[in-house]
């Protein structure tokens, strides 16, 4: 029943996303095309400076077309990513709510997640330009592109080093997500609190991406959220009880086939 609920949840997200996307597609871009065109051709003066209050004036003419399409597309990507994760876990272990089966999968999930997140953030830069949401005399897109790339490379380095260190404390895999070791409550609580801070950061990033031009980064941030929770579960799991045996209380394999 739990797996069926997850499938229904993914389907609901996908349908809601499709409805929002179509609504945005049928909505005009600006409330006054004439005024918007005038602002676009007079966005910068002869000195290459942005016209006074240009951003506020052009924003006042925009409709909800882009937010609707971004949110709709983000929800559909969210549904597809969740569904893909569930099917991947079932294919590995026969259970849907579990950590990766092997340790190197953690690195694979992290690298793919960061790669997809980087792609979505870079695509957002070009979407801002294509949608005329920045003046023609604005700084080159190359500047934020370099900044985003540098930030994600730093995250990759920190993640690889941190992963190698944390992996030394992993219990045998796989383990159920939301694992909790009641025999070591203090250790479990400290690890959970520390990683919850990272989890919340990714939740906020995901929420922002869902309603912005960065919606293409949603799959990456979902994978990183999964990675954080899987890491927490692997760290708090009992080292003398792990692997497939530790999943017996989650669901019988026949229930997810």
The neighbouring-strand residues paired with 176 are 98
The neighbouring-strand residues paired with 98 are 176
Q: How many CA atoms lie within 13 A of 162 on its CB side?
A: 14
The Cα–Cα gap between 78 and 132 comes to 27
Domain boundaries, the chain: 99-256
* Tens digit of each residue's pLDDT (9 = 90 or more) over 179-211: 998 889 999 999 999 999 999 999 999 999 999
The neighbouring-strand residues paired with 44 are 50
Nearest alpha-carbon partner for 234 in 186, 153, 176 = 176
* Tens digit of each residue's pLDDT (9 = 90 or more) over 214-257: 999 999 999 999 999 999 999 998 776 555 555 654 444 434 33
What's the pLDDT score for residue 60?
Answer: 94
Alpha carbon dihedral 184, 102, 203, 112, in 10-degree steps, equals 160
pTM score of the predicted model: 0.90
The Cα–Cα gap between 190 and 169 comes to 14
Residue 142: both structure tokens together: 């190359």
The Cα–Cα gap between 105 and 48 comes to 50
What's the pLDDT score for residue 140?
Answer: 77
Dihedral over Cα of 223, 76, 208, 117: its sign: positive
What's the pLDDT score for residue 257?
Answer: 34
Length of the chain: 257
The Cα–Cα gap between 235 and 231 comes to 6
């Amino acid at each position: 029943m739990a797996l069926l609920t997850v499938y229904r949840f993914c389907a609901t997200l996908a349908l809601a996303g499709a409805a929002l996307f179509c609504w945005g597609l049928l909505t005009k871009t600006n409330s006054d095309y004439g005024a918007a065109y005038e602002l676009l051709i007079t966005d910068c003066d002869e000195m290459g400076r942005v016209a006074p209050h240009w951003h506020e004036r052009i924003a006042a003419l925009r409709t909800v077309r882009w937010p609707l399409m971004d949110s709709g597309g983000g929800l559909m990507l969210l549904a597809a990513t969740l569904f893909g994760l569930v099917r991947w876990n079932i294919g590995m272990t026969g259970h849907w709510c579990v950590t990766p089966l092997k340790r190197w999968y953690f690195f694979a999930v992290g690298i793919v997640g960061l790669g997809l997140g980087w792609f979505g953030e870079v695509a957002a830069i070009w979407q801002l330009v294509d949608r005329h949401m920045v003046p023609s005399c604005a700084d080159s897109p190359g500047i934020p592109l370099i900044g985003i790339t540098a930030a994600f490379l730093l995250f990759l380095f920190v993640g690889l080093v941190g992963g190698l260190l944390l992996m030394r404390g992993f219990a045998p895999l796989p383990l159920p997500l939301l694992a909790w070791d009641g025999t070591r409550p203090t250790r479990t609580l400290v690890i959970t609190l520390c990683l919850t801070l990272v989890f919340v950061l990714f939740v906020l990033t995901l929420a922002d991406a869902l309603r912005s031009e960065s919606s293409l980064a949603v799959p990456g941030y979902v994978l990183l959220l999964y990675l954080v929770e899987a890491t927490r579960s692997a760290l708090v799991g009992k080292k003398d009880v792990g692997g497939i045996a530790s999943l017996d209380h989650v669901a019988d394999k026949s229930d997810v086939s």
